[in-house]
Structure 1
Amino acid sequence: MQVPSDIEVQINLGETSVIVNYEVTTDCADTQLVMVSGIASGETFPIGMTTIAYNAVDQEGNVVGSASFKVNVKDSYCTPRFAAIVEPITKVEFGSIQDNTTSYVTASENEYFLEQSTDVIKGETYTITVAGNINGIAETSQFVVFFDFDQDGIFNPDTEGYYIGSITGSTGVDGQTVSNQITIPTDILTGPTRMRVMKTYRLVPENPCSLTYAYGQSEDYTINVVENLGTNDIANQSIKVYPNPVKDVVNLQTSKEVNTIAIYNLAGQKIISKEVNIINPSLNVSSLPKGVYILKVETNEGSISHKIIKE
């Protein structure tokens, strides 16, 4: 059985996955190749490392050979390293993001949950709560969160980094957490924005790109920044989006004339944009792959964003 060497693919800013093609072959006509784990050739691979494993099975069902290789889809954002041991982040709560992950030290150094998103309003304050496996009863880990508010593919520690706090001696699943308040700036871009939570041993992880951290982990999520229209403006611009989930056409029931409708993926890439200038517009999304998207509605009074699911 022949498998390719490890494959590395670099994606562009705004992309969260890529189609990867590979070939696995055998010289034995009476054996069948069976994928044991991983993703099939020609399918979509997420950011990060995926291990592809195949067995060669004879006509009696016996495994007569096995082989594996790795596909590394490299993020357009920098990737920090934790070279000694992964000490995982086990909880991230921010807005509607409520994520609980493994406490095992065999977890990946860098985990990507970009399909998990929450709306945040400019100028509003939100609580972020985290937990993690400290891997020692007397040891301490520090937590920081970064936001790419200017959507340039770079986390600026000085203007886009926020200290959350520290935890000592936690298993990551014993209920210990630390929280802090994050006020969303008013002078930032709207739309999907990358968020990175980082945990490191003892030292505060001020550098979101460091290759020299020993113990810790990073987890990436998505926030959707929306304008602060004020209570009256939001009430006046009440918008109903239906059906959601949607297969073909998404409809908007509005009280104001809509100027434009746009669809973004969770990486912030604009997929569809349509000028409508009517009340109660609709948009054909049948060409979109299945997944979660952000629908942004622009009116004369501002913009409103909604999360939609494409079936």
Structure 2
Amino acid sequence: MISYSLLGIGGEPNYVTTTVVTISAPIQLQPIPDVAACNFYILPELSEGYYSGHNSGDVITTSQLVQVQAPAAGACPSDSTSFYVGINSVDISLSFDGAGYHANQSDATYQWVICSDPAIVIQGETNQIFVPTENGDYSVLISYGDCQSYAQCFAVDYLNTNDHTIAGLEFGPNPFHDTVRIKSNEVLDGILIYNTLGQLVFSQKQALENAQLNLSNLPNGSYFVKATAGNKTQTFKMMKN
């Protein structure tokens, strides 16, 4: 508070006036750390300030910069800050090539399961591609960054039936080193071999019943050998060492 006195004749005060001066200090916002979330993020209540363009409780589904504004303090400019919300998501779609199921999300980790409550882990089935060996309901848990999501369960009911079995089909040895022998009582239309990423690494599309495949150029690891004969398809999982 500031007081002023104006002197009149003889030095006596004529009148006194008082002016109140208010000094406003701007509100300083504390920095807000960036956020990484899976699929969505719900904006929390703020202890100070307010969202600019958003409200508490809003659901963020895309990566973006979120602005926070401090309340105005008199004539002083208000402070502001921002933080980044990064939304990660998992592609849980699957592709089917007639024999195996392929998780479309790349650069992730995979665990194929039997659908039940709770899900039953299929030991050793941690590749991007999965070839079922018996009928059942299956899914895959896909882990990508901080996110984990199950693909929708799918039913396999076509195995172990004469309509889909190639008579006398055999592959060997398993594991193999450089060559794989193929025997069949039916004429095969061709052989396709995929790696665990679902990439085609070998193709032989010609009629054959008994053959020996030279696979010396393939690196060691697991492979899926797919044989077709007419409308029949069978896939074997093999290991090269």
**Larger of the two Rg values belongs to structure:** 2
TM tier, smaller: 0.3 to 0.5
Which structure would you say has the larger RCO, counting Cα contacts within 8 Å and 6 or more residues apart?
Answer: 1
Higher strand proportion:
1
